[in-house]
Amino acid sequence: MSIFIKNIMAVNADGIQKGADILIEGERIVEMGTGLVRDADRVIDGTGLVAFPGFLELHCHLRDPGLVYKEDIMTGTRAAAAGGYTAVCCMPNTKPVTDSAEIVRYIIEKAEKSGYAEVLPVAAITRGMRGEELTDFAGLLKAGAVAFSDDGMPVAEDKMILAAMERAKELRVPLMLHEEDLAKRGNGVVHDGENARQAGIAGIPRAVEETMTARDIFYAEKLEAPIHICHVSTAGSVELVRRAKANGVPVTCETGPHYFSITDEKILDRDPNAKVNPPLRETGDMLAVREGIADGTIDVIATDHAPHNEEEKAQEIEKAPFGMIGFETAFPLTVTNLLDTGVIGLTDIARLLSKRPHELLKTAGGELKKNGPADIAICDMNEKFVYNKDMIVSKAKNSPFLGMELKGRVCYTIRKGKFTYDRQAD
Ligand SMILES: NC(=O)N[C@@H](CC(=O)O)C(=O)O
Ligand SMILES: [Zn+2]
Ligand SMILES: [Zn+2]
């Protein structure tokens, strides 16, 4: 199949090409220029639209195997494609935990058969994510894992995190760390602040996240071992990473759209969809996260798409599970809260959602160019819409952004030269 995209604004991390024509044949971009006239099976008029390199999700939960009542590989990747993603890394807190070559292969094979995006499995750091014994990193890598994480759980023991860092350094593979001190969290549910007190909900202090972030930066520096910090949510964590980078510590990090878009005010009405770990913080934290994105302290925007079903989320906020879906709102939230507010420019979107994630994983892609992979997100930067339940592609509906007006929308997603999302056709 061939696709010809005419007269589009092509945006890469390192520059913008206006009035670009892109010819796709098979799985590649075979020509990219201006003023081209070409025949193709499908022609897209890109006038008024923007093309980004397909987004790469560094952190999501597809719930497959074992928790497929929440989401599965087919529905999850379909939602990812609707968000402009062409590849997603899925976290190992599945059932059973993704800690064996067999499960890694199951995920990859199922994604190849039924997926709308490439699925890159993140394997567990410790067996069963129990924090007691390292998994077989080499064997898991060979099976196709791209990184290691016990996401959902911290690696609590110092000797375990040290062993994991040494192994990941040796194998040159990313170690993605969920920073949380469970003893300090206790029975906390939302950010520990004025809003939690007003709503009468137990709080999670910033220190729950920051002390573990500090510990792991300390060890990464000592061992000269690269680490990646997941879902940074506080001003203090941003500052810890900023200083570490300035000191030459090999640390990278991500944040989620919810941390730069909303605050813990959202929990005042006890909405379980606003319950997420780490929790939504205060305005000062939200602004610090934006600043960290603007100055490059924060490398990547990762959604932490965490689907839960409606019954689970219909419980009291104390009982409902942590997490919110994110694939379909990441781009509009980035446009609405980072681009339109002047925090970042257009090329930064390509950097934060595609180029940097590809660099961290050392995967090919993240750039629109001749002979490069035909992985493309075609977006309308100006379209406004009210996000509602009916438009959600994911199996799960747990979003705190329902009912909000957002700007910026994905129109088409192309992966390996094929449409994985076409809003007009849906
Ligand atoms: N972020 C969340 O609130 N929940 C995640 C786990 C995690 O990312 O830590 C989940 O798996 O549901
Ligand atoms: Zn986590
Ligand atoms: Zn997660």
pLDDT per residue as tens digits for the range 106-137: 999 999 999 999 999 999 999 999 999 999 99
Cα 153 to averaged position of ligand 1 atoms, centre (Å) = 9
Identity of residue 203? G
Which domains does the chain possess? 2-51+372-384+406-422 (2.30.40.10), 55-361 (3.20.20.140)
Q: Under 8 Å CB-to-CB from 105, ≥6 apart: which residues?
A: 143, 144
Q: What is the pTM of this model?
A: 0.98
Q: Catalytic: 304?
A: yes
Give the integer Cα–Cα distance in Å for 310 and 355.
34
pLDDT at 424: 86
ipTM comes to: 0.99
Give the integer Cα–Cα distance in Å for 175 and 186.
26
Atom of ligand 1 nearest to the CA of 277: 3
Q: In this predicted model, what pLDDT tens digit does every residue of 165-208 receive, in sequence order?
A: 999 999 999 999 999 999 999 999 999 999 999 999 999 999 99
Give the integer Cα–Cα distance in Å for 184 and 320.
20
Give the integer Cα–Cα distance in Å for 106 and 123.
12
Are 174 and 168 in contact by the 8 Å Cβ rule? The answer is yes
Cα 374 to averaged position of ligand 1 atoms, centre (Å) = 31
Active-site position among 72, 192, 304, 375: 304
Q: Which of 57, 58, 60, 61 to mutate to test the pocket of ligand 1 (most atoms within 8 A of CB)?
A: 61
Contacts within 8 Å (CB) and 24+ apart, 15-24: 15/347, 16/346, 16/347, 20/46, 20/51, 22/51, 22/368, 22/376, 24/374, 24/414, 24/417
Cα 311 to averaged position of ligand 2 atoms, centre (Å) = 22
